[in-house]
């Protein structure tokens, strides 16, 4: 099998504040827009790559700000979710999507390098997340995402969603603080989509499998598409995370 990543292609993992003292690990699987040199532009325009299909708009910036506010370690994934989606099992049909929100991804149609994407991007990234979580430094793991306000013509009214599988305690605690502190906020549970072991990785494989308090957090991307919004939502979420830590046993 031909190697995918070449000299000059970055590592899939970027660790921020590795010595952070906060006992929450922040993860951002859809942080980046990177594309390996060998894949060119995936056959897409810059405008298409900048859409929500290519990355979670504002999520990386929000994660960076949260890392700073909380003195927390964060791990960001560099490559576009159109190269490989690092919050999907490799066998999921949308792990390397051929179509995303009605946009065909030419380089992904009948691609013969899907296993290389798994071996060189997905597996190293997930291995790094696992090493961090298995270090014993963390009593919670939170994955930061964003979602588009309209998907295939259907409005999504939530300001924020908390996603979980069989364990909802962390999501409920975080949301309860927001409901009280920010009564204007529209909060969804398992919105804008439902987590499952067949379609997701972070929640079942990193949170549930370890019995570790966890949540996947989705912020509507029009709230965090600019610096002011990112700063505002970093303040909001940091307050919620701090309150959560006060409630969680050491």
Contacts of 147 (CB under 8 A, 6+ apart): 52, 56, 156, 161, 192, 218, 219, 220, 221
Q: Is residue 177 part of a domain?
A: yes
Q: Is residue 1 part of a domain?
A: no
Q: What angle do CA 35, 32, 209 make, to 5 degrees?
A: 110
- Cβ-contact 150, 156 below 8 angstroms: yes
Q: Is residue 240 part of a domain?
A: yes
Q: Which two tokens stand for residue 47?
A: 């405008």
The continuous run of DSSP H or E covering 166 comes out as none
**Helix, strand or coil, per DSSP, at residue 229:** helix
Cα-based torsion angle of the residue sequence 243, 244, 247, 249 in order, rounded to the nearest 10 degrees: -130
pLDDT at 250: 61
DSSP category for residue 21: -
- Cβ-contact 186, 158 below 8 angstroms: yes
Q: Is residue 218 part of a domain?
A: yes
- Cβ-contact 76, 18 below 8 angstroms: no
Reported as a pLDDT band with limits 50, 70 and 90, residue 1 is low
Per the structure, the count of domains in the chain is: 1
CATH code of 28's domain: 3.40.630.40
Residue 94 has pLDDT above 80, yes or no: yes
Q: What angle, rounded to 10 degrees, do the helices at 59-70 and 227-247 form?
A: 50
Q: Is residue 236 part of a domain?
A: yes
| DSSP collapsed to 3 states, 42-58 | CCCCHHHHCCCCCCCCC
What's the rounded mean pLDDT across residues 120-136?
98
Q: Is residue 153 part of a domain?
A: yes
Residue 66 has pLDDT above 90, yes or no: yes
Distances (CA, A) of 159 to 51, 89, 148, 222: 19, 27, 11, 9
What's the rounded mean pLDDT across residues 137-161?
96
Closest CA to 105 of 115, 94, 92, 116: 94
| E runs forming strands in 89-174 | 99-100, 103-104, 140-147, 150-151, 154-155, 160-163
pLDDT in tens, 8-32: 999 999 999 999 999 999 999 999 9
Residue 73 has pLDDT above 80, yes or no: yes
Q: Is residue 120 part of a domain?
A: yes
Domain with 57 in it: 13-245
What pTM was computed for the model?
0.96
Q: Is residue 63 part of a domain?
A: yes
């Amino acid at each position: 099998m031909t190697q995918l990543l070449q000299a000059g292609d970055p590592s899939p993992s970027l660790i921020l504040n590795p010595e952070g003292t906060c006992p929450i690990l922040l993860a951002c699987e859809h942080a980046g827009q990177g594309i390996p040199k060998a894949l060119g532009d995936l056959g897409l325009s810059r405008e298409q790559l900048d859409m929500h299909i290519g990355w979670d708009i504002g999520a990386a910036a929000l994660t960076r700000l949260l890392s700073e506010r909380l003195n927390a370690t964060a791990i960001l994934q560099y490559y576009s979710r159109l190269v490989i989606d690092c919050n999907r099992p490799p066998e999921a049909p949308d792990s390397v999507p051929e179509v995303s929100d009605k946009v065909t991804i030419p380089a992904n149609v009948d691609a013969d390098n899907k296993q290389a994407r798994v071996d060189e991007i997905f597996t190293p990234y997930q291995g790094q997340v696992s090493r961090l979580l298995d270090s014993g430094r963390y009593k919670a793991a939170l994955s930061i995402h964003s979602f588009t306000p309209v998907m295939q013509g259907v409005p999504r009214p939530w300001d924020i969603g908390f996603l979980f599988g069989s364990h909802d305690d962390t999501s409920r605690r975080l949301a309860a603080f927001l409901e009280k502190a920010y009564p204007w906020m529209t909060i969804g549970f398992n919105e804008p989509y439902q987590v499952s072991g067949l379609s997701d990785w972070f929640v079942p494989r990193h949170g549930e499998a370890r019995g570790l308090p966890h949540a996947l957090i989705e912020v509507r991307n029009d709230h965090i598409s600019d610096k002011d919004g990112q700063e505002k939502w970093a303040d909001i979420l940091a307050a919620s995370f701090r309150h959560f830590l006060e409630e969680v046993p050491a």
